[in-house]
């Protein structure tokens, strides 16, 4: 099988999937659609991990959670995802101390349709690589990183990239001679 | 979103970031928080990023921020950044030198700015007559003393001082990236001091 990862400039695929947003009884699940995120006018940062209940994952997920406010400050919706079902997500969150207070939704791509469309499925087990996508408010993928199954990510690097993508120098002080003047 | 309510008070989040509490909150910050101002979030990001500049170590970051707080006569920020600097190993002597340097540079900024405005032979050749003995053997080290001098001069807008101190730093081997990081930190701290 040849993996073709959806890359910079492509539109992020539509999706509508179950997500775990809480461990409170009756409030665990939420139908999460990409449309809702797009309508919010915010950026999206979606990060994937291979399997619930494994070792590297909780550290990394907890690290994303520690920086939840930093993503919110940057008007970015943070989503965690794997190909496990919503019930496995919920069980894992209840089971693991570091995951109980997660502030972002855990997306359940149980049919693997989204991971497949993104091109991030590992061939043997059909589980997702540690992929991270930054998507702008127009729904265009602006950054992709893809790590092998056992390599952890650096959340600060994700924030640095997000900052760089968002920081346009709008101040007229930065105009260079001959440049077009500020519009809109 | 997603049925989860967000209840963060961004003014308090910003204060926490620089080691302050509700006690230091101001009417301006409260106004921004109440109106869920986009700027407040930007300011917090600017502050965090400036304090984490790669070319400056933590002690240098806090000493520079302290210099800005002294220059802006901002007591809340002076307290916050002197505490942080001491936690990073700054001695009382070093803090005192930052205070002295900031004060002296205020004299120099006014004096040399005048000279630069005038372009007059008499003033250019006249002796400044301002004692600057602390410049000789700074406990902060020559390079960092120059960096603080540059930061204060940039704050107070003296062209002659800014260009001279930048030149000295580059000649001393400081990287332009380090100078740029120090100036961004200075600029962001000034924007913070306006609201505290």
DSSP string, chain B: -TT------HHHHHHHHTT--GGG--HHHHHHHHTT-HHHHHHHHHHHHHHT-TTS-HHHHHHHHHHHHHHTT-HHHHHHHHHHHHHTT--HHHHHHHHHHHHHHHHHHHHHHHHHHH--HHHHHS------GGGSS-TT-HHHHHHHHHHHHHHHT-HHHHHHHHHHHHHHT--HHHHHHHHHHHHHHHHHHTT-
The predicted pLDDT at position A184 comes to 46
Q: What pLDDT, on the 0 to 100 scale, is given for residue A150?
A: 81
Mean pLDDT (whole number) for A12-38: 94
B8 in reach of chain A (CB within 8 A): yes
Q: What is the pLDDT of residues A138-153, one digit of tens each?
A: 999 999 999 988 888 9
| Residues of chain B with C-beta less than 8 angstroms from the C-beta of A105 | 2
Token pair in block for residue B187: 């600029």
Give the H/E segment covering residue A79: strand A76-82
Contacts with B, A 4-43, CB within 8 Å: 19, 21-22, 27, 30, 32, 36-37, 40
Work out the percent of chain A whose per-residue pLDDT is above 90. 70
Q: Which of A71, A93, A76, A72 is nearest to A84 (CA)?
A: A93
DSSP A11: B
Task: Mark whether A173 is an active-site residue.
Answer: no
The alpha carbon dihedral of B64, B70, B73, B77 has a sign of positive
* Per-residue pLDDT of chain B in tens (196 residues, 90 and over written 9): 776 656 678 899 999 989 999 999 999 999 999 998 889 999 999 999 999 999 999 999 999 999 999 999 999 999 999 999 999 999 999 999 999 999 999 999 999 999 999 999 999 999 989 999 898 899 999 999 999 999 999 999 999 999 999 999 999 999 999 999 999 999 999 999 999 9
**Given an 8 Å threshold on Cβ–Cβ distance, is A163 in contact with B49?**
yes
Q: Walk me through the domains of chain A, giving residue ranges and CATH numbers.
A: 16-174 (3.40.30.10)
Across the range A13-27, mean pLDDT stands at 93
Give B171→chain A minimum CA distance, Å: 27
CA nearest to B180, candidates B46, B56, B44: B56
pLDDT of residue B19: 92
Q: Are B42 and B184 in contact (CB under 8 A)?
A: no
Using a 10 angstrom Cβ sphere, with 0-12 exposed, 13-18 middle and 19 or more buried, the burial of residue B142 is middle
In this structure, the number of other CB atoms found within 10 A of the CB of residue A16 comes to 11
What's the pLDDT at B5? 59
Does residue A70 sit at the B interface (CB-CB below 8 Å)? yes
Cβ separation B2–A70 shorter than 8 A: no
Per the CB < 8 A criterion, the answer to whether A8 and A142 are in contact is: yes
- Comparing CA positions, the residue from A111, A97, A82, A98 lying closest to residue A20 is A82
CB contact under 8 A, B1 and A103: no
Could you tell me the pTM of the whole model?
Answer: 0.83
Kindly report the nearest CA distance between residue A30 and chain B, in angstroms.
7
ipTM above 0.90, yes or no: no
The CA distances from residue B113 to A17, A180, B123, B159, B175, in Å, are 64, 34, 11, 7, 26
Task: Tokens for A61, please give them.
Answer: 């997920």
Distance CA A45, CA A156 (A): 13
CB–CB contact A73 B45 (8 Å): yes
| Domain boundaries of chain B, sorted by first residue | 56-193
Confidence of residue A57 (pLDDT cuts 50, 70, 90): confident
Right CATH for B56-193 from 1.10.600.10, 3.20.20.70, 1.20.1290.10, 3.40.50.720: 1.20.1290.10
Mean pLDDT of A57-70: 91
Say if residue A53's pLDDT is above 50: yes
- Could B2 and A105 be called an inter-chain contact, meaning their C-beta atoms sit closer than 8 Å? yes
| A100, A156, A43, B8 alpha-carbon torsion, rounded to 10° | 50
| Å between B9 CA and nearest CA of chain A | 11
């Amino acid at each position: 099988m040849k993996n073709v990862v959806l890359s910079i400039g492509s539109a992020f695929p539509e999706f509508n999937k179950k997500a775990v947003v809480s461990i409170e009884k009756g409030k665990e699940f939420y139908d999460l659609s990409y449309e809702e995120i797009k309508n919010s006018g915010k950026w999206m940062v979606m990060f994937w991990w291979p399997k619930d209940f494994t070792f590297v994952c909780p550290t990394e997920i907890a690290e994303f959670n520690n920086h939840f406010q930093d993503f919110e400050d940057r008007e970015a919706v943070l989503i965690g995802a794997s190909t496990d079902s919503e019930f496995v997500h919920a069980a894992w969150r209840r089971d693991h101390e570091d995951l109980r207070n997660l502030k972002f939704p855990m997306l359940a791509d149980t049919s693997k349709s989204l991971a497949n469309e993104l091109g991030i499925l590992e061939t043997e087990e059909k589980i997702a690589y540690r992929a991270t996508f930054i998507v702008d408010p127009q729904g265009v993928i602006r950054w992709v990183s893809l790590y092998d199954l056992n390599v952890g990510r650096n959340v600060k690097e994700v924030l640095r990239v997000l900052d760089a993508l968002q920081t346009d120098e709008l101040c007229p002080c930065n105009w260079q001679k001959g440049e077009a003047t500020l519009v809109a | 979103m997603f049925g989860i309510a967000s209840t963060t008070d961004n003014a308090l989040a910003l204060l926490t970031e620089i080691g302050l509490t509700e006690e230091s909150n101001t009417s301006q910050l409260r106004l921004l928080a109440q109106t869920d101002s986009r700027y407040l979030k930007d300011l917090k990001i600017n502050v965090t990023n400036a304090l984490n500049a790669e070319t400056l170590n933590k002690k240098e970051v806090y000493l520079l921020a302290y210099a800005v707080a002294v220059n802006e006569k901002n007591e809340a920020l002076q307290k916050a950044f002197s505490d942080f600097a001491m936690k990073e190993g700054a001695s009382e002597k070093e803090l005192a030198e930052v205070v002295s340097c900031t004060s002296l540079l205020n004299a120099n900024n006014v004096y040399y700015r005048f000279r630069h405005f005038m372009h007059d032979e008499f003033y250019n050749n006249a002796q400044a007559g301002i004692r600057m003995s602390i410049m000789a053997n700074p406990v902060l080290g020559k390079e960092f003393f120059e960096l603080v001098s540059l930061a204060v001069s940039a704050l107070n807008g003296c062209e002659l001082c800014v260009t001279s101190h930048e030149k000295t730093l580059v000649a001393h081997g400081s990287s332009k990236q380090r100078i740029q990081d120090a100036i961004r930190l200075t600029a962001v701290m000034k924007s913070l001091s306006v609201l505290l």
